[in-house]
Structure 1
Amino acid sequence: MKVNYIGIACLAVLLLTACDESKYELENLVPEEYHKVLYINKSGTQELTLYNTGELNTYAFSVYKGGSDPSLTASGEIAVHSQEEVDVLYGADYRIIPSGSYSMDTDRLDFVSEERSKVVTLSLSTDLIGAAMEANPEATYVLPLYLTSEKDSVNADKSELFIRITDVLTPAMGFMDTDIQPLSYTYGFDTESVEVGFGLDTDNNWDVECQFVVDPGYVTAYNAENGTAYKLFPEGNYSFEDVVTLPTGTSTTDLAVTLNGNGLTPGEYMLPIRLDNVSLFNIAENAVYPLVVRVVGIKLDRAGWSIQANTEERTGEGVGNGVATCLLDGQLSTFWHSQWSGGSIPLPHEIVVDMKKETTLTNISLTERQHDSYRDVKGGEFFVSSDKLNWTAVGAFEAQKVLEEQIFSITPTKGRYFKIKITDSYRASNSSLAEIHAYGID
């Protein structure tokens, strides 16, 4: 067998040297073996996950014809290394997939003058490959292909395609994202629409029916595991199609959910939508979408409110800054800060707001100081009182180091005063905030 393996760098040097020559001079300057050069476009090691769909999996790759005169005809073949060659070339515990587990639509490549590339399609049997992998789990199964030619040159750097099988999986249907992302709606909202994405983890060539249900037990289990107190979204306040078809040619789609706020009191609700059944394949681990809805009270008007704190920085932050009244001034550029000049008060730091009248509170919000680094408040507790003497604990909070307003749900409680008790800081014993708000039902 005559095979001319050449380095691409050599060809490049010759072409650059001859860039100003005529075609005749170029043909005489460039050796004949460089006139037409074959190579695999995406050569080297390629990892491939196979999916057990009951049908053959396919993998396509391209062989290109280049060189100084790619208009010439050329021919080549795709061959498979033997196990002995793989052992010598690669050394690792590689095993060639069973001989009956793959086929090529063509292994002979004959290029006519106008052709610049050809596509080779592999067909792979997941049953045979999966059985081999299960029987020998310590081995890595591969298909080591190489390009060769009886009469034409092959680029030595792009002559090998080493397909490494990473796994054989049964396709699974599941939700695209199951992280909790609370949706906030104001108390008394009418209807809202939510799109919940789900799909198959591979290309979809089938019409797959998916059945959805609500799983009330998920809320109980989630609360017990995470220390939360989500309420199950009431049955009469939502709707969605029980069965949705994922059509062929589409790997992902949305489940449309309609939410109705009629009669919902402020609080945090969870609607756990479970993918319960599919007409084909498996159900993925991400089979439950925890749709969380936070019903927030009406933002209260702070006109006439008063505020005090057990610590504030009266001088060090500039005129009019650092004091508790900054928390009610509606200006994000100002902020309250715990005392730091001339001594400091250790945590906890307490802020008490007098709303001047009794109101049923449902939420309290905090906005961190608008600073690149100093966003200090991390955690604490909320309290409500009618007389400023007897306080009722209504909730705890964990704040993020973000600039946006953070709204926290509390146990709906009637009172005139509310207290923020800061017990944890991101910066030693320092506390600072830009604004605070309260939400409720008049």
Structure 2
Amino acid sequence: MKRRDAYLKLTRHNGRAGTHGTYNPKHNDRSFNLANSEHIDPERAKGNIYWDCFYGFRSALAPQDPDDLAATFSEVERQFYESRYSNFVESQNERNAKIRHTERNRSIPDLLSSRKTCPEETIYQLGTLDEHASGEVLLAVVTEFIEEFKARFGDHVHVLDWALHLDESTPHIHERHVFDCENKHGEVAPQQEKALEALGFELPDPGKPLSRRNNRKITFDTACRKMLFEIAKRHGLELEEEAEYGNREYLEKQDFILAKQKEQLAAQQNKLDELTLKVNDMETLIDEVSAAAYDKAVEVVTDVVRTETRKEDMRMIEDTKKWVLSPERKAPQSTREYTAKHLDSVLGQVPQDHADHRCPLAGEAPEAGSPAERQGADQGKSTGFCSATAEPLAGRADPTKAICAAYRRKIRKLFSIIVRGDVY
């Protein structure tokens, strides 16, 4: 069996469920329409061999007796579970009723569909798609293994059925079995770990607690693999002694998984670094745009604040002039005219581009109160505008405040000259 200095690869793979739930034995005994599966050759399927624990061997050439109660693997497994575990199911349901937890009740179909209590399926294969043993050699090795398997572990591990498939790309065998053991109530129940403990299997690391990576099933599978290799060697086969994962030189399976995870993490880290650089570049661009926008906003706000401040001060001066010239004032006419003339000179110092603000104010009615009182109110308006406008720019030096303060100091100085004249 040594082909071109290449040793055959012996595979024994276990599983209970996949993407679509627990494995269906209909695939194994071909109890479905083969026309719906492109990878199965219906002509070669006639050479498949099937075995179950109730009725033994059968094939398409030697079909099962139609009078048999179980025509398919599904029915065989249901019958086995009913005959062996019905007492456990009924007793457990009674205990659930006594403690008022009937929602925990289960049935035989529930046991067959649960990942913990359904049969375990094992696939055996000798070789690969390119290099593999014949179906006859595979059948001889695996049937001898199953007989020894039942002799050694049959008290607690029961082989239910198996099928040799010759109708796919590579000959292989599907075998299904169930683990069981008596529970604390003396009832036989499907339970893997307790069954293996009863068979004498220890944890891989007895010093550590039972876990997914430290359980008796690992020890059991190691013993089965060793037994299978010994039987294959007795048949004269030369096999790969060391496991190979992912087409790489030998590594322990967990080491290979960790190496793959590290590669994935490194790739993800590189992608994250690239995204981080892009984010940093974007943040730098945002800062630059924000700075330019802020400078432009300062220019606009400065002009607006300056204009509004002058408008308020001009209004105050206009109102004061109207108040001084009103007939209610008791000061001499000459004093009042002198004061009004001085106010005109103050207005004359306002830049020409703001002179248009005097027109709409000239026709307004004078406000109540003295100019000094209105000065405080008007200053509050002007200063309030300045603060409200500058508030969104808090956290930076605000040039508008300095401009407003300097301009208002100039206005107050001129206005103080008027106030000192005994106009009031």
Question: Could you say which TM-score interval applies, normalised by the shorter chain?
Answer: under 0.3
TM-score normalised by the chain length of structure 1: 0.14
Larger Rg, first or second structure (1 or 2): 2
Report which of the two has the higher share of strand: 1
Report which of the two has the higher share of helix: 2
TM-score normalised by the chain length of structure 2: 0.15
